[in-house]
Amino acid sequence: MTLVSFVAILWSLSGPLHVALGGISITVPGYMVWAALLYATVGTWLTDRVGRPLVRLNFDQQRYEADFRFGLVRFRENTEGVALYGGEADELRGFHERLANWWGIMRRQKRLTWLTAGYAQAAVVFPFVVAAPRYFRGEIPLGALVQTARAFAQVQDALSFIVSSYTDIAEWRAVVERLSGFERALQQAGLEPARGSGIARADGDAGQLSMDGVEIDRPDGQPLIADVTLSLMRGDTALLSGPSGVGKSTLMRALAGIWPFGRGGVHVPRDARLLFLRQKPYLPLGTLRHVVSYPRSDAGVTDAVLRESLDAEGLPELARRLDEPGNWALLLSPGEQQRIAFARALVHKPDWLFLDEATSAVDEATEARLYCSVGELPATTVVSVGHRATLRGFHRRRVVVEPNGHGPAVLVERG
């Protein structure tokens, strides 16, 4: 609006400029408008040349700040481990490295500020210099000269929006590129299922969970486990074992439906209730009542059920602290966290219970107690991933993921 309003005023005030070149007279109507356009174009070009690196610097800063916040959270959760290693200096050095990008931003913004400030200051004098020939020839009075300079300032300021806002534009561009990259990653993640490949979940026969000829790959497309054929009936107990890194936990992710890399399908009974307990359980922030009930609402679980579940897993002292809020992942030992997870299984009473190294932090006697507690759940299928020989006594079936030379691993049932 400013540009449209003042271009007409500046055009009428500036009048024509007569230039003689080699005997040829050239008349430029409204020459102050063209001068403002040229001035803003040159200033915009110079600003872009100096300020364009800010886009990459701001993009990196978005990433560094995210890493910095994540690093602080991770450091807080592992303070004891850092202290035992004596790694405080290394952690501090890592935090300083994530802040180093600020210096690059400040140096680049300093150069850009020098340019834009100089550009703005020169814009005050520039119209007087350009309009001075007509004034000294007596074609316009002093008042018209001042009016022309003011109209020029309005037009030039409107044309210089990019110059004056370049820092904000660079930051906006960095945010847009980061979000666009995230959107592209989400689209890429959905390409495989969209093309009909990937490991898909489908409704299966009642009372049976199965995988028939499933191929499990790494995210880079390299085969991990070939031709997975597995059938689990209601009430089964199966132990999944094999060397570390062979893909046992990945197989569990495929059963859970959160590993799309591969081919084939997992057939799960309709409305089946599945529960997965990992080696490091997830304990949300909040009251202990919410932690044990998760992911169900704690309003739907009675205190009697919660206390009975905690007592069954050897945590009677926690049964008296149900309404106490806290960060329980830091307040409880790894063994207590795993027992909380088993108490969660008693609360939910799932149809299919999958345990991925879920007793690695407890002693053998406690492990036996935990497995006996879930063994009393009616018609619950228990599938465990583990290395301990003591686990074999709690399972009727044993399935081994065996390496196969340089090719993908294979699934073998030992009985």
Write the pLDDT tens digit of every residue in 115-134: 999 999 999 999 999 888 88
CA atoms within 13 A on the CB side of 137: 8
Torsion angle defined by CA atoms of residues 30, 36, 38 and 40, in that order, rounded to the nearest 10 degrees: -160
**pLDDT for the residue numbered 128:** 92
**Contact yes or no for 149/125 (Cβ under 8 A):** no
**pLDDT for the residue numbered 196:** 52
**pLDDT for the residue numbered 299:** 78
Segment among 21-25, 40-44, 242-246 with least mean pLDDT: 21-25
Quote the CA–CA distance of 370 and 345 in Å, as a whole number.
10
Fold entry, domain 2-186: ABC transporter transmembrane region fold (1.20.1560)
Segment among 15-24, 139-148, 183-192, 193-202 with least mean pLDDT: 193-202
**pLDDT for the residue numbered 27:** 81
Instruction: Assign 415 a pLDDT band (cuts: 50, 70, 90).
Output: low
Residue-wise pLDDT for 157-208, tens only, equals 999 999 999 999 999 999 999 999 999 888 876 665 555 567 888 888 888 9
**Contact yes or no for 140/134 (Cβ under 8 A):** yes
Identify the top-confidence range among 61-75, 82-96, 202-216, 344-358: 344-358
406 has a pLDDT exceeding 90: no
3-state class of 20 per DSSP? strand
Instruction: Assign 137 a pLDDT band (cuts: 50, 70, 90).
Output: confident
- Token couple for 81: 């481990």
Mean residue pLDDT across the chain: 89
**Contact yes or no for 213/229 (Cβ under 8 A):** yes
Homologous superfamily in CATH for domain 198-413: P-loop containing nucleotide triphosphate hydrolases (3.40.50.300)
**Looking at the whole model, is its pTM more than 0.85?**
no
Calculate mean pLDDT across residues 296-305. 85
**pLDDT for the residue numbered 191:** 66
Q: Look at residues 38, 27, 47 and name the one whose alpha carbon lies nearest to residue 127.
A: 38
Quote the CA–CA distance of 372 and 380 in Å, as a whole number.
12
Tell me which residue has tokens 């930051």: 171
**pLDDT for the residue numbered 46:** 94
**pLDDT for the residue numbered 300:** 78
26 has a pLDDT exceeding 90: no
50 has a pLDDT exceeding 80: yes
Provide the 10 A C-beta neighbour count for residue 168. 9
Q: Look at residues 406, 344, 402, 403 and name the one whose alpha carbon lies nearest to residue 374.
A: 344
* Higher pLDDT among residues 15 and 109, named by residue: 109
**pLDDT for the residue numbered 201:** 84
**pLDDT for the residue numbered 15:** 77
**Contact yes or no for 318/288 (Cβ under 8 A):** yes
- Residues listed for the chain: 415
Calculate mean pLDDT across residues 364-388. 93
For the chain, the helix, strand and coil percentages under 3-state DSSP, each to the nearest 5: 55, 20, 25
3-state class of 66 per DSSP? helix
Instruction: Assign 37 a pLDDT band (cuts: 50, 70, 90).
Output: very high
Pairing of strands 223-233, 262-269: unpaired
Quote the CA–CA distance of 393 and 384 in Å, as a whole number.
12
Instruction: Assign 379 a pLDDT band (cuts: 50, 70, 90).
Output: confident
Alpha carbon distances (Å) from 261 to 202, 216, 242, 345, 405: 16, 6, 21, 28, 21
Calculate mean pLDDT across residues 76-88. 89
Quote the CA–CA distance of 268 and 201 in Å, as a whole number.
7
Instruction: Assign 372 a pLDDT band (cuts: 50, 70, 90).
Output: very high
Quote the CA–CA distance of 80 and 91 in Å, as a whole number.
13
* Higher pLDDT among residues 176 and 299, named by residue: 176
Calculate mean pLDDT across residues 100-123. 90
Q: What percentage of the chain carries pLDDT values higher than 70?
A: 98
Quote the CA–CA distance of 211 and 14 in Å, as a whole number.
82
Please give the distance of CA 400 from its chain centroid, rounded to a whole number. 35
**pLDDT for the residue numbered 321:** 92
Calculate mean pLDDT across residues 290-308. 89
Query: Where are the domain boundaries for CATH 1.20.1560.10 in the chain?
Result: 2-186
Name residues whose C-beta falls within 8 Å of residue 195's C-beta, 6 or more positions apart in sequence: none
141 has a pLDDT exceeding 80: yes
Query: Where are the domain boundaries for CATH 3.40.50.300 in the chain?
Result: 198-413
* Higher pLDDT among residues 297 and 287, named by residue: 287
Tell me which residue has tokens 């009909």: 196
